[in-house]
Amino acid sequence: MPLISTDKPKPLDKKTAILENATYSTGEKTMFSAALCSSICLFSPLLAVHPSVEMMYQEHLETTEGRVQFLTEKVVPYAAVANELNEEILKLSDRISSLSSETDQAEILALTEEATQKMGKLSVMLPALNLLTSLEEDFDQIETILEQADELTVEQQETADRIALLCQSIQP
């Protein structure tokens, strides 16, 4: 019996093709599944997106418009709240220092407690505010990071992590 058939293959209609595919042996199905699985495993590192990079896409930071929107809708209001808290703390501090420790102890205590609460809120905001100090340089790196086909460098990873942390920190 010849190894190669010289018969012309007959064209298959859709029903015949489905029936013939359904008659694969278990071994053929297993081989196909194994090949598919190994292909997925081979390409999955290429398809995996680092969570920090994914966060940049979620916030639409890949475009200039997205970065401007992020700044105007999230960063500026966040910084404004922090600035307002700081101003209120300064006013409370001035008010406390103008009072007499001998006659105004109750008012000093109440104002000190209010200032302490506001300082607590502001101190929670400080890590995100600190991230704003490098925001311009970090935003300049976004396009390079997102276009990177290989693994990110240590510096790029740190930048991506800072941006992602900022995005998470200033969520309403």
pLDDT at 18: 47
Q: Quick one: angle between helices 51-58 and 154-169, nearest 10?
A: 50
Residues 37-73: b if buried by 16+ CB within 10 A, e if exposed = eeeeeeeeeeeeebebbebbeebebbeeeebeebeee
pLDDT in tens, 110-164: 999 999 999 999 999 999 999 999 999 999 999 999 998 888 999 999 999 999 9
pLDDT at 171: 78
Per-domain boundaries in the chain = 51-169
Tell whether the model's pLDDT for residue 50 goes beyond 60. Answer: yes
Q: Which of 61, 66, 169 is nearest to 124 (CA)?
A: 169
Tell whether the model's pLDDT for residue 1 goes beyond 70. Answer: no
pLDDT at 48: 60
Whole-structure pTM value:
0.67
Measuring CA to CA, how many Å separate 120 from each of 18, 22, 55, 140, 168? 68, 67, 28, 32, 19
